[in-house]
A = this chain, B = another copy of it.
Amino acid sequence: MWLGKGAQMSYISQQIRLASRPQGVPQPENFRTEEHQVREPSDGEVLLRTIYLSLDPYMRGRMSDAESYAEPVTVGEVMVGATVSEVLDSRSPDFEQGQIVRGYGGWQSHSTEPAASLRALDPDSAPITTALGVLGMPGFTAYAGLLALGRPEPGETLAVAAATGPVGSAVGQIAKLKGCRTIGIAGGADKVAHLRDLGFDVALDHRADDLGSRLRDATPDGIDIYFENVGGAVFDAVLPRLNTFARVPVCGLAATYNSTELPEGPDRSPALMGLILRKSLTLRGFIQNEFVPTMFESFLRDMGAWVRAGDVRYREDITEGLERAPEVFTGMLGGGNFGKTLIKVSDLQR
């Protein structure tokens, strides 16, 4: 939306702000919608109209004020998030009106961002949504975490949960390209069928009974790499299957993000430490930005080629309308998405 103002234009941004910190599952009242005039760009800044907003599990952490790797969103501020946007006005020599860019506009329809934080996209080389998924942060998380920390070797067995999600599906497909046997875990028959389509060697439904015994049957040679992005019951089922020298890149713990207290006892942390010792395990937490300086270029090159060749496929789960972001986000934490969760905020007008 724009308002003529003499020779200048000004824009109104529709915004979803954090109204209060969620306790447990985020509720509608934790968010509020506001409209504000968009700040005009200063030198080195660009004014953007959001086309797609990415919703990702890490955002649950930003809603909380527990100590973490990133500052929480201040109550009252616009929720953060990666976006694909169109340049409306540029005060940077690096961008011009009409260009499509990946930025960090947050949960709003317009944003003013420093040019240094933007990356220009070529809509002819890949669909622009991929900059938020398979060729964006989730894909890079999979690529860097698997290759730098999982260190897959041909013939090894890899397991990953949330395996139809943007990270898990890329992890499994890259591991397969590296010669691993791949075990994908997801919730529900549709997702399990999709895992088979993606080429996972084994697809398991974590909602069916007795995941532990089915995982045992599916991993006669144990598990060498468990790419951890959910925690909870899947982690419990995986632990006894880990081989000596297994690697566990810890990328996310989606099953626990809404937890408000620890589970009942006994305290199993000494047992976990004992297993780490007895099996010479490596557990390594990571955030993808650790690897951006060393691996992002090779990621764009490798993953771009794999996606173009159809060796790595991806699925998107797109909902139209910024106002639906809170409910879609909460649904995603519960596994309600099927592929990369995106909000279509506005149309691409070209």
Contact = CB atoms under 8 A, between A and B. Distances in A.
A233 B235 CA distance: 25
Given A250-B277, A273-B231, A263 B262 contact: no
A348 interface: no
Interface in A198-254: 228, 231-232, 235, 244, 250-253
Number of copies: 2
Interface of A: 61, 67-69, 228, 231-232, 235, 244, 250-253, 256, 259, 261-287, 290
B281 A285 contact: yes
Nearest to A278: B68
A46 B61 CA distance: 63
B265 A266 contact: yes
Contacts of A278: 61, 67-69, 285
Nearest to A290: B280
A58 B223 CA distance: 26
Contact of A264 (B69, B265, B290): B265
A250 B276 contact: yes
A276 to B, nearest CB: 4
Given A69-B280, A278-B67, A281-B285, A267 B270 contact: no
A269 B267 contact: yes
Contacts of A284: 276, 280-283
Nearest to A245: B290
Which of A256, A265, A285 has the largest number of chain B CB atoms within 10 A? A285
Nearest to A268: B269
Contact of A262 (B231, B235, B251, B266): B266
B261 A274 contact: no
A262 B268 contact: yes
Contacts of A272: 269, 272
Contacts of A282: 282-285
Given A277-B252, A285-B277, A231 B270 contact: yes
A11 to B, nearest CB: 37
Contacts of A244: 69
A262 B270 contact: yes
